[in-house]
Structure 1
Amino acid sequence: MHILIVTDQHPDTIGGAQVSIRVQQTFLERAGHRVTIVAPRLLNPGEAKTTTPGVIELPAMPITSDKSYGASWPGQASVRRVLRRLEALPPVTLVHVQGDFWGALIGYQLARRLNVPAVNTMHNNLDAGTRAVTPFAPAVFWALRAVRRCVLGRPRWPGRQTVAARRRPKPRGGWAYLAQLAADSNAVVAPSRHFAGDLERAGVPGPFAVIATGVHDDLVDEIKAESFSRGPGVRMLWCGRMSPEKRLFEMLEAFRLFIAAGGSAHLVVVGAGLQYEQAVRFVREHSLGDLVTFTGALSHEQTLAEIFRADVLVQTSRGFETQGMTPYEAALLGTPTLYCDANIASAVDVAPAWIEPSGSAQELAAVLATAATEIASGAPGEMRVPELLTEGMRQSSRTEEMLEVYRALCENA
């Protein structure tokens, strides 16, 4: 098969969806298939930590002040550009949409022009994420639906059943836009059971194939083969995109309260984003500079190494993640996680682990203290996740599940 993945951001930028796409490409190609990715061009190529092969880049305009991310216009010029590049490649078997904005619209346009099925993996809790970053979310949702209609017209329901449509609740807000994208698809994939449930309750039409993204087998094995000695004290880790829905500042405030109450630990913060300078300023103003290290953006392999070296990963996003990759990566590497989202904790389902249930910085500080005490008092290796609990989290086991979806569509095409 030749799978055309179309996405909102270049796979060499920072983000869970980008990591997911890169690892999917690697293991689909190992299974003997060809993968081509369509994405906006890199606006800061010198800052890329990876180099992904087989990418058709589209013209892009910056959508963040640091030019980390770009947007491509979903018009006929973009479609023609991709079609010209595809002329030199084997025929496309299907289009896999792994984006919600320009990537989704361009992906569906390409599927229609190529007359092939379209699969949509819904990586993004669009409703919660948009409401977290702007007070004008209703206007954004209206604009998204309007642009989708201008580009794609009425949803087509290609080869999909509308059984029980009357019993579905009417989707609203960002869910209404996702419902239209789902109705444009031949198959819809959710990366977790809890997000599939969110989609169903919001009225997004299914059925949904639940296929979580796995962790890169080779990277896990290489990093676990490293030899290093953990230093004294408890090493905590936070990693992700520095934007409000990830709740970095709740983490920093909780760590401040933890230290003020006599706690002892070192916090490593991995990632970048629009809140980076503000976060550095917070640490400086509260005299935490000796206890908090900012690494900036790292490659995926470097990030996994930091997870492996940590005593505990702290996952602070709440009610937003559709899967949450870092706790899966941590589990495979043996690092326990402190969760602020019970859905992710339930999905990963390994021990040791801690859950902060309320969402407050004060409660998170208390759970940080509990975790630090248990880690510091545990015997060597006792507070690590046993390998036998993480079977099935590797991407090699997930790729076949996705191929089953692809094969079913091709058989029915």
Structure 2
Amino acid sequence: MRVALFTETYLPHINGVVTHVKILKEGLEKLGHQVLVVTADYNTRKHYIKDGVLHCPAKQMRRFYNFGAAAPISERRLKFIRDFNPDIIHIHNEFGIGISGVMAAKILKKPLVYTLHTMYDEYIYYVAPPLFVGPMTRFSHRYIRILAKSASTLTGPSQKCAEYFKQAGVDKTVNVIPNSVELDAFKPENISEERKAAFRAKYHIADDQMIACFVGRLGREKSVDVILDNWAACITREDKIHLIVIGDGPCKEELEEQAERLGISDMVTFTGMVPHEELPPYLASCDVYITASLSDTNSISMLEGMATGLPVLQRLDPLNADQVRDGINGFVFNGAQEMAEKLRMVKQKTPEELAILKRSVIASVKRSGAEDLANYMLSVYHGLSDKEGSASVTDKIRFMRPAELMKRIKRMQVIARTRRKP
């Protein structure tokens, strides 16, 4: 089978979508299938293919983590895709490259798979002032509806995606296919004790301190501020539990100031961005993974922590309730007191009990490798019939071009600033 995967960003950038697409590509290729990744690349002025990746000229979007925004329409791009002759077109994002995938599927009369990775309602604040969150949310729902209706089938890494589609007005079955993780890279036995010791030494964390970690982009939607508030309310220095926050983002400075204001800066370490290839010893040096985010679908960072044996402490999230099972791969908390109780419970376990829990956590992600993801997705691909997308898709997509979207956003921001003036 020949599969074209469309993603707005790809290696060397690292995020959840990039990791998902990379692992899916590797899994499909291991099973003998041919894959072409189509992605935006602001470092090139012409389309070219290298190592199975079609690089498309794009504009660098500094405001959005320096990702690239590519024009949705390109005859040259379509020629490369036509020459590849995919059996399936699979989009993983919703902007220039995603729209390009929708249009290619229509023109080439290929089945279109659409995977939703992001709960966009949680990200509206990046582009719209508070006054326009409501209109922009309705706008994004309409956008999602158009893409979903053009797809032959929908997938998402958790039940939360199905609920989001429903809220956006999409009445289609969603295939829930959990994310995968690079299991070998995060196997505890593949990470030396020297590298773990170097981690503690680098951040001056004593051996008698239990370490709880969070890994991810530091934006409001990740709710690291909730963890800090809970920490200040219920964790004491006598508990000897240290919090490591791994990652960077627009809220990093604000979170560091919050820790200082709460008087817990000596119990919290912010590492900043850590290259993905250097992450395994960071995770393996910790004792538990903690998250208060309600925006994640099936966090790959969390899965990477689990692959190293870290039990997860997850804030209660009904739509992700099946991801963390108490006593099997972690514990769910609801509020500061419960969070503290669960942390202390893990710290008080004997070495034998911790070893049993660690094995249980690792076992829970054993079927989260590249070939597993590929096989799950192949079951979806094979279930599709060769049919065209909606005949009116091209017309409906017209008003969603990135340039027009940005014009609307800027116009809203200008209006909002005007209204705020005395």
The answer for the alignment partner of 2:113 in structure 1 is 119
1:115-264 alignment runs, 5 A limit: 115-130=109-124, 134=128, 135=130, 136-141=132-137, 174-200=140-166, 202-221=168-187, 223-228=188-193, 231-259=207-235, 262-264=238-240
Is structure 2 residue 330 aligned with structure 1 residue 353? Answer: yes
Q: Distance in 2 between matches of 1:18 and 1:173?
A: 26
User: 1:296 is matched with which residue: 272, 278, 297?
Assistant: 272
Q: 1:103-114 alignment to 2 at 5 Å?
A: 103-114=97-108
Task: Summarize the Cα distance change of 1:277–1:68 in structure 2 as closer, same or farther, 3 Å threshold.
Answer: farther
2:75 alignment counterpart = 80
The answer to whether the 8 A contact 1:312-1:336 is kept is: yes
Matched, 1:15 2:12: no
Deviation at 1:291, TM superposition (A): 3.0
25-34 or 190-199, which deviates more: 190-199
Residue 322 of structure 2: SS of its match in structure 1?
helix
**Offset from partner CA, 1:340-369 (integer Å, 9 cap, x none):** 143334234362523232xxxxx33x2342
1:92 aligns with 2:63: no
The verdict on how the C-alpha distance between 1:224 and 1:194 changes in structure 2, with shifts beyond 3 A counting, is farther
> What secondary structure sits across from 1:355 in the alignment?
strand
Q: Which residue of 2 aligns with 1:375?
A: 346
Q: What SS does the aligned partner of 2:381 have? A: helix
Q: Distance in 2 between matches of 1:412 and 1:103?
A: 21
1:261: how far off? Answer: 7.3
Q: Give the structure-1-normalised TM-score.
A: 0.78
Question: Aligned partners of 2:272 and 2:241: how far apart in 1?
Answer: 20
What secondary structure does 1:347 align onto? coil
CA contact (8 A) 1:236 1:266 kept: yes
Per the TM alignment, residue 284 of structure 1 is displaced from its structure 2 partner at its CA by 4.6
Question: Residue in 2 aligned with 1:408?
Answer: 383
CA distance in 2, matches of 1:248, 1:210: 27
Question: For the residues of structure 1 that align with 2:107 and 2:11, how far apart are their CA atoms?
Answer: 24
Query: Where does residue 144 of structure 1 map in the other structure?
Result: none
* TM-score, normalised relative to structure 2: 0.76
| Cα distance in 2, alignment partners of residues 399 and 6 from structure 1 | 16
Query: Structure 2 vs 1, CA of residues 213 and 390 (structure 1 numbering), >3 Å: closer, same or farther?
Result: closer
The SS at the match of 1:409 is coil
- Alpha-carbon spacing, 1:375–1:189, altered in 2? closer, same or farther (3 Å): same
Q: Which runs of 5+ in 2 are unaligned?
A: 45-49, 198-206, 389-422
**How far has the Cα of 1:23 moved from its partner?**
1.0
Give the partner amino acid of 2:233. L
Aligned partners of 2:42 and 2:59 also within 8 Å: no
Relative to structure 2, which stretch is displaced further, 392-401 or 62-71? 62-71
* CA pair 392-270 structure 1, distance change in 2 beyond 3 A: same
Contact 2:216 2:246 in 1 (8 A): yes
Larger RCO (CA under 8 A, 6+ residues apart): 2
> CA, structure 1 residues 348+391, in 2 after alignment: closer, same or farther (shift >3 Å)?
farther
Separation in structure 1 between the aligned mates of residue 276 and residue 324 of structure 2, nearest angstrom: 20
- Which of structure 1's runs of 4+ aligned residues deviate more than 6 A? none
Question: Per-residue displacement from partner, 1:259-291 (whole Å, max 9, x unpaired)?
Answer: 457542222111111122333344455554443
Q: Distance in 1 between matches of 2:233 and 2:269?
A: 17
Contact 1:234 1:372 in 2 (8 A): no
By how many angstroms is 1:181 displaced? 0.9
Change (3 A) 1:173 1:83: closer
Change beyond 3 A, Cα 1:283–1:186: same
User: Deviation per CA, 1:156-191, whole angstroms, max 9, x where unpaired?
Assistant: xxxxxxxxxxxxxxxx55333222211101111121
Q: Deviations over 1:19-65 (max 9, x none)?
A: 11111111111111222222221569xxxxxxx94332333333344
Match of 1:272 among 245, 248, 251: 248
Against the structure 1 CA distance between its residues 66 and 406, is the aligned structure 2 distance closer, same or farther, given a 3 Å change threshold?
A: closer
Q: Residue in 2 aligned with 1:162?
A: none
RMSD between aligned residues: 2.9
Would you say how many aligned residue pairs link Structure 1 and Structure 2?
364
Distance in 1 separating the partners of 2:122 and 2:28: 31
Name the one with the larger helix percent: 2
What's 1:327 paired with? 302
Query: Partner amino acid for 2:61?
Result: I
C-alpha separation in 2, matches of 1:262 and 1:81: 64
Tell me if structure 1 keeps the 8 A contact 2:43–2:57.
no
Name the counterpart of 2:403.
Answer: none
Q: In 2 relative to 1, CA 264–217 (structure 1 residues): closer, same or farther, beyond 3 Å? A: closer
Q: Deviations over 1:130-172 (max 9, x none)?
A: 268742234435xxxxxxxxxxxxxxxxxxxxxxxxxxxxxx5
List runs of 5+ in structure 1 lacking aligned partners. Answer: 45-51, 142-171, 358-362
Distance in 1, matches of 2:12 and 2:289, equals: 24
Q: Do the aligned partners of residues 138 and 373 (structure 1) sit closer, same or farther apart at CA in structure 2, a change above 3 Å counting? A: closer
Q: Provide the C-alpha distance between the structure 1 equivalents of 2:241 and 2:62, rounded to a whole number of angstroms.
A: 34
**Residues 1:288 and 1:197: Cα distance change in structure 2 (over 3 Å):** closer
Is 1:182–1:205's contact at 8 Å kept on the other side of the alignment?
no
Counterpart position of 1:161? none
1:313 aligns with 2:265: no
Equivalents in 2 of 1:348, 1:400: separation in Å?
A: 23
Show the 5 A alignment for 1:25-64: 25-41=25-41, 53-64=51-62
Contact 1:179 1:203 in 2 (8 A): yes
